[in-house]
Amino acid sequence: MDVDLGDARSILVGFGAGVVVLLALYSVVGLEDVLSALSQADPGIFAMVCVVSVCWLFAWGLALRTVLGVVAVEVTVWRSFLLLAGATFANNVTPFGQAGGEPFSALLVSRSTGIKYENGLAVVASVDTLNFVPSISFALLGVGYYATRFTVGDRVGFAAVALLALALAVPAVAYLGWRNRHRVADLVIRAAVPAARLIGRFVPRFEPPQESQVRDRIGGFFAALERVGGDHHKLALALSFSALGWLLLSVSLWLSLGALGYWVPFAAALFIVPLGSVASITPLPGGLGGVEAALVLLIVPITGVDAGTAAAAAVLHRGATYVLPVLLGGSATAMLEADNAHGSASD
């Protein structure tokens, strides 16, 4: 998977913006308070946080493996882990979270499994859609438990309302998009074909696709989505692996707070993690800076810990679920691409 100079520059700019947001966050919270809290972190518990993060990648890798099985592609558990790690790497170095990383993830899946790109995109989109269901379910469960046991403040109440709106809006948009998929396809074609022709005038060696080619690819994408949605047994299995992954992500935040000496109700983590992850759609690589800020804003009123401790917990949690996957995912992508290159040379 080639990355040109423009891609590298945009990634560097995105990381620079994320670092600026982080510095602004820690300056408001108090860098000394954050460092003081981190100095008291239990290294053994943080090691457990890192192990939990790897298990999360394996769980979502199994969800990806299950969905690939629906389109008649069999991969090993290890290879599904590498593919998911590579996809997570793409999401974490591109802006707008999964929305920005999906094209690269689909390309990696396509090149590594030999399926058509539109089928790879359908698989990745299906896994991302499946991941939405347990995240909202866990969050609603957590806020329901929290509301029955503790006094709900204005900020927490606002977060709960936002969560409910998200739970209703996303499925509604997805349903309407699917019911009107032919109109959506026509809109995409009307926008993509002229844009590709315009690019072809200025970019050498770029051959714009014909309208029939674009239509065939979009048709293949929707056909693959329909095939995935039709296998209810495997969908349920993939949902189970996705739910396990979200559970492990919540464990990561819960342990991160525990490493700092604050063992909060686990239901709080179930509520905070999915809501905090919404900030990954910001135009920053993997939501860098935005997710940390969201976590602090949620942790403080929900758990009652001070802002310095909340920011330190966010550092530990994101270190294991953002920095570590970037390192693992970058290595996984390199391994898969080397394997792809070797396979092409052998052919």
Q: Give domain status of residue 70, yes or no.
A: yes
What tokens does 90 get?
Answer: 């793409």
Q: Give domain status of residue 18, yes or no.
A: no
At what angle are helices 117-149 and 154-179 packed, to 10 degrees? 150
Q: Give domain status of residue 58, yes or no.
A: yes
Q: Which pLDDT score, from 0 to 100, does residue 206 have?
A: 52
Q: Is residue 255's pLDDT more than 50?
A: yes
Q: Give domain status of residue 81, yes or no.
A: yes
> What is the H or E stretch that residue 190 is in?
helix 181-202
Burial class (CB in 10 A: 0-12, 13-18, 19+), 44: exposed
Q: Which pLDDT score, from 0 to 100, does residue 6 have?
A: 47
Domain of residue 313, residue span: 32-346
Q: Contacts from 222-227 at CB under 8 Å and sequence distance 24+?
A: 222/122, 222/181, 222/185, 224/71, 224/118, 224/119, 224/122, 224/123, 225/122, 225/125, 225/126, 225/178, 227/70, 227/71
3-class DSSP state of 289 = coil
Q: Give domain status of residue 277, yes or no.
A: yes
Q: Give domain status of residue 197, yes or no.
A: yes
Q: Evaluate if pTM is beyond 0.85.
A: no
Percent of the chain at pLDDT exceeding 90 = 32
Tell me the per-residue pLDDT of 304-331, one tens digit each, with 9 for 90 and over: 899 999 999 999 999 999 999 999 999 9
Total number of domains in the chain: 1
Q: Give the separation between CA 62 and CA 237, rounded to whole angstroms.
A: 9
Q: Is residue 3's pLDDT more than 50?
A: no
Q: Which pLDDT score, from 0 to 100, does residue 119 have?
A: 81
